Chains A and B, each alone.
Chain A
Amino acid sequence: MSEIIRLEHIWKRFTGVTALSDVSVSFSSGEVHALVGENGAGKSTLIKVLLGAYQPTEGRIFYEGKETVIESPRKGSELGIEGVHQELMLVPYLSVSQNIFLNREIRKGKIFDVKEMNRRSQELLHDFSIDIDVTKPVKQYSASIWKMIDIARVINQNPKVIIFDEPTAILSEREVDSLFSSIRRLKEKGIAIIYISHRLNEIGEIADKVTVLRDGHHIGTLPASELCNDDIVKMMVGRDVSQYYSRSRVERGEELIRLDSLELKKGQHDISLSVHKGEIVGLAGLVGAGRTEVAEAILGINPILKGSITYKGKPFHPASPSQSIKKGIYLVPENRKYQGLILRFTVANNIALSVFSRWAKFFYKGKKEATVAENAIRKLSIKTPSSKQLVNNLSGGNQQKVVIAKALETSAEFLIFDEPSVGVDVGAKEEIHNHMDSFVVAGGGILMISSDLPEVVGMCDRVYVMYEGRIVKELKGDEVTDNNIAEYMLGSKVAEAGI
């Protein structure tokens, strides 16, 4: 294994922030090198420096032994460095094959050789056991197929270095397996692989080496075989975080909400569940199983075709979020930057977003907003220089706390959390879980949607599992285990039991 890229004393500074300070690390061919760290630790910046999307403020990069300036993604690509990005890097209304050959088209004279590109794309995807019509726009296909197309696109360019940025976030277990086997194939071909993931178990499975970043500093690089998950977490956070979930014992109270065989859009039916005061109820399932749709139906965002909802003993017909919120229901949405926050507004504006209209008949109370926000910032220990800071400048975890503060200000009794800890670092994750716990201790009820199985198992009293638009199982007490949930959400138990 030979070294291919070496970074020496890389610094990167932005407006008021130092994203990377004095990072030196090297990557070798034929090796899977995992890069871990909390959100905001500098992983994304480091990748962007490698890809040529950012220029380091200071420091030197050596590529194949020679000092190199990667001044643009184009240059990076010419050198043989390619990335599979976290966001879906495809053009929705271009065909699958045109996406795979984006800016690397095969040409016949001046014009594109579409037939040849289609043929090659078909072959390439076949390696991932995906057989789709490559002449159709990618928009038609699901997010996980997009990811695989994106990966095929990158591999097609025969790079020497591939950077995977959280590739498995939206993949099913089977797809993860097929991805890992192709990563191993690439490794054997002598390609250097840089792998970023929040899922520590995956790192143990696939990585040869692990580099940990914290607050832009390089904490250490060690062989994966010498590290266990607890060590990595300790290095990432810089302190001991109990990897365990702590829940207070709460007496289950009266029923808060009950959904009776709801039918939402096509293919989503038989949705029945209940949440009592004092409990956290999980809603597990794959991405696309219909979990978010259930949450949005309760809020009145999506229409309910059939079935009924009972809230606090009375029939409830959700019409709009504003009405549901008045009744004490609140959704902490999945996409916090888009659905949860106004990024261009201040922390105070955001915390008061759902309540400022309640304070007066006509006037907007700026001063009251500031006081309320100051209190919430203290109560939830949101890390921000002041309540006047723009939310955009906060880290993922603190942004999520702002959303939670926003929810708590409405004095809601029933909270729905949709993926509460996605994009949240380990430390903040624990704090968010504590807030959820104290909310139910105070007599509220929570419905939590999550793809993070340890989180579901650790936090929930009961769990409903959704599979292809239906709730197929309710798991209680001892039944709530990783294995049980996984089997139902992947559908294997469902077929067996003939549900």
Chain B
Amino acid sequence: MKRGDIVRTLKGFPPVVWMLILIICIFSFTGTNFYSVNNLLNIVRQASPYLILAMGETLAILVGGIDLSVGYVMGFCGVAVAMLMNMGLPFYVAILIALVIGAFCGFINGLFVGKFKLPYFIVTYGTGNMVYGLGSIITGGVSQPALDRGFRFIADGTLLGIPVVFFLALIVFLLMKLLIKKTPFGRNLYGLGGNRESLFLSGVNVVKAEIMVFTVTGLLAAIAGVIFAARSASGHPGFGIGWEFDAVAATIIGGNSFSEGKGSINKTVLGVIFIQILRIGLNISGVAPQAQSFLIGFIVVIAISIDVIIQRRK
């Protein structure tokens, strides 16, 4: 009886858990110091902004869409926060404005896809490039320093020996959980992805609801951008290029689906941890940077394939 329960629980694990165990095993052989405190803190530091970004992407995917602009929005908000501080604004004001900018970008995306019913994929592709172009024009393509000490604390600081970014990610995660579980936002999120018609007929303004979802996605991208700018002590419009793929990949590898609003941000956490450990593991295993790009693409495609096949079997 009990053994059956255990087997069932094990079978119920999403495939990403098994893949995670697999790569951890591999890296503990290939990488020296894989288990060192330093390395773990490193994983946490790098995973935090990425998790925040990926949670935003998950929202867009759960409503049946996608947001390819998050990487560019992230880069742009990093630029914004750096430039605002260089103009002499205190760092918290700069951060606040950057977050508003990110939310506004998301709002625009939401307006296009929600109100004007334009295809998600191509519109966010377009707006992303617009934001990138705008950032390039403002900065002239030059990276903007962000050296304010208070600002750098976000990335470098620790509380009780644990990086501040970890707490930031945790707070954002818990707030998102609350928002999804116990407020209309979550109901709308799953309703938009699962059955838009019933949501509409029960009296929800679906256009507003969708704009809201994309606004939050933009806001989360902005938070990720601010953290990233703090870490690299600078802002550059191209910093986030490629991150949107990692965000989509983490969402899918975690086991979220593009249809019916199936999934949750818990799954995204697993996906993020997978990709982050993969990146850092390859690094400390001494794989050449040229080969890393290939290996990550390859492993991510394989991981998504495994997930898709197993989900279909169920």
- Please encode chain B, from 186 to 204, with 1 for each CB lying within 8 Å of some chain A CB and 0 for all others: 0100110111011111111
- Besides the known contacts A53-B201, A114-B182, 12 further A-B residue pairs in the complex with CB atoms under 8 A apart: A85-B198, A87-B197, A90-B195, A91-B190, A91-B199, A93-B193, A98-B187, A102-B191, A102-B202, A103-B184, A103-B204, A111-B183
B residues within 8 A CB of A220? none
Chain B residues 244 to 265 lying within 8 A of chain A, measured CB to CB, are 260-263
Q: Which of chain B's residues has its CB closest to A89's CB?
A: B198
**A and B contact pairs by CB, cutoff 8 A, 5 listed:** A89-B195, A89-B201, A91-B190, A94-B194, A103-B202
Contact partner of B200 among A73, A114, A139, CB < 8 A?
Answer: A73
* Assembly CA distance A73 to B206 (angstroms): 12
Interface size on A, residues (CB 8 A): 26
Hey, which chain B residues are within 8 Å of A74, CB to CB?
Answer: 203
Decide if A83 is an interface residue (CB 8 Å cutoff): yes
**Distance between B267 CB and nearest chain A CB, rounded to angstroms:** 12
Chain A interface (Cβ within 8 Å of chain B)?
A: 51, 53, 72-74, 77, 83, 85, 87-94, 98, 102-105, 110-112, 114, 139
Q: B261 contacts A93, CB within 8 Å?
A: yes
Q: Contact partner of B201 among A83, A88, A93, CB < 8 A?
A: A83
B287 at the A interface (CB under 8 A): no
Q: Pick the contact of A91 from B178, B182, B195 — CB < 8 Å?
A: B195
Q: Are B191 and A91 in contact (CB under 8 A)?
A: yes
Instruction: Give the shortest distance, in Å, between B10 (CB) and chain A (any CB).
Output: 19
Interface residues of B in 190-222 (CB under 8 A from A): 190-191, 193-195, 197-204
A88 to B194, CA, bound (A): 11
Contact of A93 among B183, B197, B198, B260 (CB under 8 A): B260
Asked if B149 CB lies within 8 Å of chain A CBs, one says no
How far, in whole Å, are A60 and B251 apart by their CA atoms in the complex?
A: 51
Chain B hits for A77, CB < 8 A: 202-203
Q: Is B115 an interface residue (CB 8 A)?
A: no
Contact in complex: A105, B184 (CB < 8 Å)? yes
CB-based contact B202/A73 at 8 Å: yes
> For residue A87, which residue of chain B has the nearest CB?
B197
What residues of chain B lie closer than 8 Å to A51, measured between beta carbons?
Answer: 201
**Please, how many angstroms separate the alpha-carbon atoms of A232 and B197 in the complex?**
32
Known: A93-B190, A94-B194. A85 touches B201 (CB 8 A): yes
Contacts of A92 in B (CB 8 A): 194-195, 260-262
Residues of A within 8 A of B199 (CB): 91, 102-103
Interface centre among A53, A72, A103 (most CB of B within 10 A): A103
The residue in chain B whose Cβ has the minimal distance to the Cβ of A157 is: B202
- Is the Cβ of A94 less than 8 Å from the Cβ of B187? yes
**For the complex, what is the distance from the CA of A89 to the CA of B199, rounded to whole Å?**
8
Residues of A within 8 A of B195 (CB): 88-92
> A53, A83, A112: which contacts B183 (Cβ < 8 A)?
A112
CB of B201 within 8 A of CB of A73, answer yes
Q: How far is the CA of A74 from the CA of B201 in the complex (A)?
A: 7
What separation, in Å, do the CA atoms of A96 and B184 have in the docked complex? 16
Residue-wise, chain B 269-291 has the 8 Å CB interface mask toward A (1 for contact) of 00000000000000000000000
Q: B187 near A102 (CB under 8 angstroms)?
A: yes
Tell me the bound Cα distance from A7 to B183 in angstroms. 38
B262 / chain A contacts, CB cutoff of 8 Å: 92-93, 139
- Take A92-B194, A93-B262 as given contacts and tell me if A105 and B201 are in contact as well, using a CB distance cutoff of 8 Å: no
Q: Shortest Cβ distance from A472 into chain B, in angstroms?
A: 28
B182 surroundings in chain A (CB, below 8 A): 111-112, 114
Q: Which residues of B contact A139 (CB under 8 A)?
A: 260, 262
Given contacts A87-B197, A112-B182, A112-B183, are A103 and B203 in contact (CB under 8 A)? yes
Q: Mark B166-196, 1 if CB is under 8 A from A, else 0.
A: 0000000000001001111001001101110
Contacts of A110 in B (CB 8 A): 183
Look across to chain A and name the residue whose beta carbon is closest to the beta carbon of B62.
A93
Q: Which of A53, A90, A92, A112 has the most CB of B within 10 A?
A: A92
* Distance in angstroms between the alpha carbons of A89 and B190 in the assembled complex: 13
In the bound complex, CA of A91 to CA of B182 (Å) = 16
> Nearest residue in A to B196 (C-beta to C-beta)?
A91
User: 0/1 per residue, B284-306, Cβ < 8 Å to A?
Assistant: 00000000000000000000000
CA separation between A53 and B206, bound complex, in Å?
Answer: 14
B203 engages A73 (CB within 8 Å): yes
| B179 CB, nearest partner CB in chain A, Å | 9
Chain B neighbourhood of A98, CB < 8 A: 187
Task: Kindly supply a per-residue 1/0 record for chain B positions 91-128, scoring 1 wherever the CB is within 8 Å of any chain A CB and 0 otherwise.
Answer: 00000000000000000000000000000000000000
Give A85 to B201 CA distance when docked, in angstroms.
Answer: 10
A104 and B263 alpha carbons, distance in the complex (Å): 23
> Across chains A and B, which 10 residue pairs bring their CB atoms closest together, nearest first?
A74-B203, A89-B198, A91-B194, A111-B182, A103-B202, A112-B182, A92-B194, A73-B201, A102-B202, A91-B191
- In angstroms, how far is the closest chain B Cβ from the Cβ of A361? 35
- The reply to whether B197 and A72 form a contact with Cβ atoms under 8 Å apart is no
Give the residue name and chain of the A residue nearest to B203 (CB).
A74
Q: Smallest CB–CB gap between A91 and chain B, Å?
A: 4
Query: Given the complex of chains A and B, what is the CA–CA distance between A456 and B145 in angstroms?
Result: 78
Looking at the assembled complex, report how far the CB atom of B72 sits from the nearest CB atom of chain A, in whole angstroms: 30
Q: With a CB–CB cut-off of 8 A, which chain B residues contact A105?
A: 184, 187
Residues of B close to A111: CB separation below 8 A? 178, 182-183
User: Are A89 and B197 within 8 A (Cβ)?
Assistant: yes
